Structure 1
Amino acid sequence: MQKETPYNLIVITGPTASGKTRLAAHLAARINGEIISADSRQVYEKMNLGTGKDYDDYIVNGQKIAGHLLDIRKPGYKYNVYEYQTDFFKVFEEIKSRGKFPIMCGGTGLYIQAVLDQYKMVHVPPNPSLREELQNKSLEELTNILQQFKKLHNTTDTDTKKRAIRSIEIETYYQSHPEIEVELPKVVPLIVGIAIDRELRRKKITQRLKERLEEGMIEEVKRLIDEGIDPQDLIYYGLEYKYVTLYVTNQITYDQMFERLNIAIHQFAKRQMTWFRGMERKGHKFNWIDATNEIDSNVLKIIDMMYD
C-alpha cells in the first residue's frame, strides 16, 4: 500500500510554451486530481487564443480533466491578485473536500507566490482623487513614482498608464492602512518547474504565435471590440491583446505587430524565469524537470517526488 504524501498541493509552472497544462492534465489523470489555473488572463471569457487556453490539453485518454479559475470574469474586467488568492483558496478547499488532489498550473509568478507565501492582502478600493491627480502624468513619470515605493507587488505593472496608476493606488493604500489579518488554509506544496532550453523555448514561442494567428487570434480581438470592449481595456491585458489591438485599430502594420509581439513574448518568458529564480532564492524549492522528456516519464517522476 502506497504511503500518504506529505503534500496537499502540486504546483506545475515554467515559462510560456513549456507544456505546463498538458503535463498537469496527464498528472491529474493519474492521481485523481483537478487543475487550478494560475494564469492572470485565462480568467476572462472569450479571450481564448490570446491567453493560450489550450482546451485540448485538458483531454487525456478521452477523459476531460476539470479545470478551475478559467472563464470566471467578463472581458474588460480588471482582475487582481487579491481576487485570485481569494478565489484560489475557495476552489482549493472545495477540491480537497471531494477527495481530489489540487494541482496549480500556470506561469503567473505573482499569483503563485501570493498563494504559497500566503500574502496577507486587503482589497484596495478606487481612489478617485489620486487617479485625477495622476491622470495627466506620462507613463515615465508614473513609473518613477511607483519606483519610490519600497514594496512593489508587481514591478512589471507599468505596461500602460492604467496599470501604473492602479499600482500607485494600491501602494498608497498599503502605506496608510494596516493589512487585515486573515486565516488562510495551510498549503504544503510540491513545486515542479518545467525546464526548457532557451533556443527551444524561442522556437516554440514563435511557432505557437504563428499557429494562433492562423487559428483566428486577430478575429478574436475584432469580435471583442465589436462586442463593446474598449480597445484600451484590451491593451491593458498586454502581450497578444496589446499588439493585436494596436494592429486592428490601424496603429501598427501586421509585420510590426508580429515582430513586436514575438519579441515581447520572448521577454515575458525571460521575466517569468527571473521571477521563479527569485522565488528559489527566497527559499522555495523548485524541482526542475526536462520539457523534452516523454510526458509519461515526467508524470512518473512527479509521482515519485510526491511520495519520496
Structure 2
Amino acid sequence: MHPGKYNLIVITGPTASGKTAFAAHLANALDGEIISGDSRQIYRRMDLGTGKDYQDYLVDGKQIPAHLIDIKEPGYKYNVYEFQNDFFKVFTQLTEQNKTAILCGGTGLYIEAVLKGYKMIHVPPNPELRKSLEEKSLKELETILSQFRKLHNSTDTDTVKRAIRAIEIETYYQSHPDLEVTLPEIRPLIIGVSIDREERRKKITRRLNQRLNEGMVEEVKHLLEEGIPPEDLIYYGLEYKFLTQYVIGELSYDEMVRQLNIAIHQFAKRQMTWFRGMERRGFNIHWIETSQPMEEKVNTVINLLSD
C-alpha cells in the first residue's frame, strides 16, 4: 500500500452488496488481510443468521485471513468499545507485518469508531457532574468542552446529551492522566459498495430463502438447546429475533419469514442513511457499483491507492 497516503482500506456498504467477496479479492491482490467490521459475526456458531459466507474468503483456492470473526460465545454482549480495542490490536499487528489491512463490514458505528479514533475507554457515568450540567444550554456546554485539551469533533455537541457525555469523558481523563490512550493514526481509503435498490431487494429476499433452506432455523434451535436464553438471541435482532420468536411459538413460520424479510430491507435502508450521514460528517466515501466486474472493482481501488 502507498506508505504515505493510506494505511487502511475500508470496504463498507449495505447488506447484500457483496462487500466480503470484494474485500477478499482486494486482499488477494494487495497481500492483505481482512478485519471484520460486523457486530454479529464475532459470535461462534451464529453463522447463517449473521451471513458468514465463508466461501467468500476463498480466492483462487486461497483462504484469505479474516480477523474478529468467531471470537465470542453467543449470549455475550459485545460493544463498540471492545471492537475499537480489538480492531487496533489486529491493525497494529498487520501494519508491523507490512500487510494491507482491509476493514470490511456494514456496522457503521463500529467503522466510524475506528475512523474517528475516539478514545473509547469505558468511562463510567458521573451522576453528580451530569446533574450540575443538565440545566445548561448547548452553547454553554460547548464553551466548557472547548476548555479541555482539544475540542472533539463537532458531532460530540450536536445534542445536549452528547455534549454532557463528552464533558464527562474529558473530566474522567483529566482525573486519570495515566489513562492517556494513543491510538494509531488512521489514514483510510473508504470504499462504499453500492447496489441498485431494486437489485438489493431481490438479493435480500433470495438470500433469506437460501439461508432458510441451508438450516438457519436449525441453527437457532441448536443455540437455544445449548441453554442460551431466548431473550439473549432476540437481543441480536433481525434473523435471531424473528427466528427465535418462531421457534418458541410466538410467530408462525410464514409470518416470521414475512416480518424478517421486511426488517432486513429496512435495515439496509438504515445502513444507507448512516453512510450518507458519514459523508455529511466529512468522510470521503468512494462509491463503486457492485454490478461492475470484480477485476474492474479491484483495479479501481488499486488506482485510487496509487493516485
Scaled by the length of structure 1, what TM-score is found?
A: 0.83
Deviation at 1:150, TM superposition (A): 2.4
Q: Residue 39 of structure 2 corresponds to which residue in structure 1?
A: 40
Equivalent of 1:150 in 161, 171, 174: 161
Partner secondary structure for residue 221 of structure 1: helix
- 1:223-249 per-residue CA deviation (whole Å, 9 max, x = no partner) reads 000011111000000000000000000
Partner secondary structure for residue 12 of structure 1: strand
Structure 1 position 232 matched with structure 2 position 231: yes
Q: What amino acid maps onto 1:151 in structure 2?
A: R
The equivalences for 1:215-226 within 5 A come to 215-226=214-225
**Structure 1 pair 19/248, CA: closer, same or farther in 2 (3 Å)?**
same
Question: 2: distance between equivalents of 1:194 and 1:25?
Answer: 14
**Structure 1 pair 3/12, CA: closer, same or farther in 2 (3 Å)?**
closer
Structure 1 position 280 matched with structure 2 position 279: yes
Q: Give aligned-pair identity as a percent.
A: 60
Partner secondary structure for residue 34 of structure 1: strand
**Structure 1 pair 125/73, CA: closer, same or farther in 2 (3 Å)?**
farther
Q: What amino acid maps onto 1:231 in structure 2?
A: P
Q: What amino acid maps onto 1:28 in structure 2?
A: A
What are structure 2's unaligned runs of at least 5 residues?
Answer: 127-158, 174-178
**Structure 1 pair 222/186, CA: closer, same or farther in 2 (3 Å)?**
same
Question: 2: distance between equivalents of 1:306 and 1:18?
Answer: 22
Question: 1: distance between equivalents of 2:25 and 2:211?
Answer: 23
Deviation at 1:119, TM superposition (A): 1.5
Q: Residue 14 of structure 1 corresponds to which residue in structure 2?
A: 13
Q: Residue 210 of structure 1 corresponds to which residue in structure 2?
A: 209
Q: Residue 165 of structure 1 corresponds to which residue in structure 2?
A: none
**Structure 1 pair 53/253, CA: closer, same or farther in 2 (3 Å)?**
same
Q: Residue 120 of structure 1 corresponds to which residue in structure 2?
A: 119
Question: 1: distance between equivalents of 2:123 and 2:209?
Answer: 39
Q: Residue 178 of structure 1 corresponds to which residue in structure 2?
A: 172
**Structure with larger Rg:** 2
The equivalences for 1:77-116 within 5 A come to 77-116=76-115
Residues 5 and 307 in structure 1, CA contact (< 8 A), matched pair in contact too:
no
**Structure 1 pair 241/149, CA: closer, same or farther in 2 (3 Å)?**
farther
Residues 80 and 109 in structure 2, CA contact (< 8 A), matched pair in contact too:
yes
Q: What amino acid maps onto 1:76 in structure 2?
A: G
- 1:4-39 per-residue CA deviation (whole Å, 9 max, x = no partner) reads 561000000000000000000000000000000000
Question: 2: distance between equivalents of 1:235 and 1:173?
Answer: 34
Question: 2: distance between equivalents of 1:55 and 1:4?
Answer: 30
What are structure 1's unaligned runs of at least 5 residues?
Answer: 128-147, 153-170
Partner secondary structure for residue 122 of structure 2: coil
Partner secondary structure for residue 11 of structure 1: strand
Deviation at 1:173, TM superposition (A): 11
Question: 2: distance between equivalents of 1:215 and 1:118?
Answer: 39
Question: 2: distance between equivalents of 1:56 and 1:250?
Answer: 33
Q: What amino acid maps onto 1:150 in structure 2?
A: K
Partner secondary structure for residue 42 of structure 2: coil
Question: 2: distance between equivalents of 1:237 and 1:297?
Answer: 36
**Structure 1 pair 67/3, CA: closer, same or farther in 2 (3 Å)?**
closer
Q: What amino acid maps onto 2:8 in structure 1?
A: L
Deviation at 1:126, TM superposition (A): 10
Partner secondary structure for residue 150 of structure 1: helix
CA RMSD of aligned residues (A): 2.2
- 1:29-63 per-residue CA deviation (whole Å, 9 max, x = no partner) reads 00000000000000000000000001000000000
Total equivalences in the alignment: 269
Question: 2: distance between equivalents of 1:174 and 1:19?
Answer: 40
